[in-house]
Amino acid sequence: MGGAMNFRPIYLGKRAWLAAALVLAAGCAQNTPESDEPRPTREPVELRLLVVDDPDMSAAIVGLRAEWKARTNDTFVVSELTGEELESYETPPDGDAIIYPGQLLGMLAQRNWISRLPEDHASHRELAWADTFELLQVAETCWGKVPHAVPFGSPLLTCYYRSDLLEALHKNPPKDWIEFHELAETLARREALGESAPADDNPWHGVVQPLAEGWAGRVLLARAASYAKHRDHYSTLFNIVTMEPLVAGPGFVRALEELIADAKLGPENQLEMDAAAARKEFLAGRAGLALTWPGHAELERADEGPDPPPTGFAELPGSVAVYNFAQRAWDERDELGRVPLVGLAGRLGSITANSEVPGEAFDLLAWLSGREWGTQVSSASPATTLYRRSQIRKPQPWLDPNTDSASAEQYATSVYDAMSRLEYLLAPRIPGAAQYMAALDTAVREAVRGDKPAGEALEAAAAEWKRITEELGLDAQQQAYRLSLGLEP
């Protein structure tokens, strides 16, 4: 098969497909009636909650201890640790539940340090599983076909645009990456903006992208997703049969070449910019477009600096063209394909495998992630965004302070639409994910600097991916990759 899964899904309509996916692909949506029967009386327990790489979320959770005790008569203690510390452990850390960056799910699951969610998790009243976005249910919270985590929100790279300038130019937000580049070129030319042009002494760019270490590879994957994710194949980052890296394929090369062309319209220091820096550059009125996400938890104040420009939000552009790696040819979709890159950051919560009270541990996670307290807990972290339908009308806790209500609604809609897509690409979350992404960062940054052509840079990244896979064990990595895609090992 050459890694191809010769299967074309039957398109039943978006909601019908999602309903089927929730049950069959992830085993996550059991429409079990909710129960109001009280639990048997028992002795109070003290739960041990671990929070990884998120002191802000940890502080927010600590502030809810009195609420939890009043509700359950139980208590919990919170311990913080870093991702590096967690990965260095030879045995699982002492705890009953753990909240962690989503890309660590594979490592934790492969080491058997976390447990699957209870069979009846979807009927838990406080968790309100059906209220969470579809891709969180069928993809990000699952390992293999089994749900292993509750969500706390997973941000997506988003297209920021100057709504006033697009209105003056009679332009719409870009639908595909060709339109994106053409719009960036137009916005970069002050003379094309007429009376709406920024002052001559104000730095100005067509687009700003976060291309610092830790970000360049993410931007490439987000831009390549619509070119590289073919609906007939599971193999996207790796060949699922051989584990040969596919990141030097035509879809990724095309995306990198387009990224480089857009980088020429950006600021000179973009190789030093993370998502926060890119967003601040845009909100300072120095760019017409940006690829970034909101900075809700960074405590940016509305009275600091000038008012931000009129801002619109859109899903990242897509593509009609998609590369079929099995046929070694480009195909065309019947319609524009927007393929979100999910699992870039975000936070998940799991029951630890060594917990002696897994039921109570799940109750705590469900309560923290649920409708009552989920917004307060999630929005404390800079690595999350809204993750429930019930949050769509009130997304402000995840947005920058000056975001007006119309723009906030636009942002929430863009997240919901992306999280309801039939096609998506998962960022690497198998063991060694950080190493794989570091190699991709290097390739993108070398190509942007002009040190190597796009294809040559990605060939070097693919060679490094192959080395990492061999070092970690080909069979183990293949099993993990298949599980990360929702397949059996």
Q: 352 and 463: one domain?
A: no
What are 274-291's pLDDT values in tens digits? Answer: 999 999 999 999 999 999
Domains held by the chain: number = 2
What are 407-451's pLDDT values in tens digits? Answer: 999 999 999 999 999 999 999 999 999 999 999 999 999 999 999
Whether 17 shows a pLDDT value over 80: the answer reads no
The amino acid present at 390, given as its one-letter code, is S
Residue 39 lies in a domain: no
Kindly state the helix (H) or strand (E) to which residue 73 belongs, with its residue range.
Answer: none
Residue 4 lies in a domain: no
Contact 436, 468 (CB under 8 A): yes
The CATH number of residue 84's host domain is 3.40.190.10
Residue 180 lies in a domain: yes
What are 76-110's pLDDT values in tens digits? Answer: 999 999 999 999 999 999 999 999 999 999 999 99
What are 226-275's pLDDT values in tens digits? Answer: 999 999 999 999 999 999 999 999 999 999 999 999 999 999 999 999 99
Q: 151 and 166: one domain?
A: no
Q: 92 and 165: one domain?
A: no
Among 166, 154, 90, 205, which Cα is nearest to 419's? 154
Residue 478 lies in a domain: no
Q: 435 and 324: one domain?
A: yes
Q: 240 and 356: one domain?
A: no
Range of the domain at 61: 14-30+44-155+343-399
What are 152-168's pLDDT values in tens digits? Answer: 999 999 999 999 999 99
Q: 312 and 449: one domain?
A: yes
Q: 379 and 461: one domain?
A: no
Q: 165 and 258: one domain?
A: yes
Of 16-30, 131-145, 291-305, 392-406, the poorest mean pLDDT is in 16-30
Burial of 374 (0-12, 13-18, 19+ CB in 10 A): buried
Residue 489 lies in a domain: no
Residue 367 lies in a domain: yes
Q: 188 and 238: one domain?
A: yes
pLDDT at 168: 95
Q: How large is the average pLDDT for residues 175-193?
A: 97
Q: How large is the average pLDDT for residues 65-69?
A: 98
Q: Beta partners for 146?
A: 143
Dihedral in degrees, nearest 10, Cα atoms 38, 44, 48, 49: 40
Residue 7 lies in a domain: no
pTM of the model: 0.89
pLDDT at 297: 60
Q: 379 and 280: one domain?
A: no
Residue 410 lies in a domain: no
pLDDT at 304: 57
pLDDT at 39: 54
Q: 297 and 445: one domain?
A: yes
Q: 269 and 333: one domain?
A: yes
Cα separation, 61 vs 377, whole angstroms: 6
The number of CA neighbours under 13 Å toward the Cβ of 264 is: 11
Q: Which residue has the tokens 């992830």?
A: 26
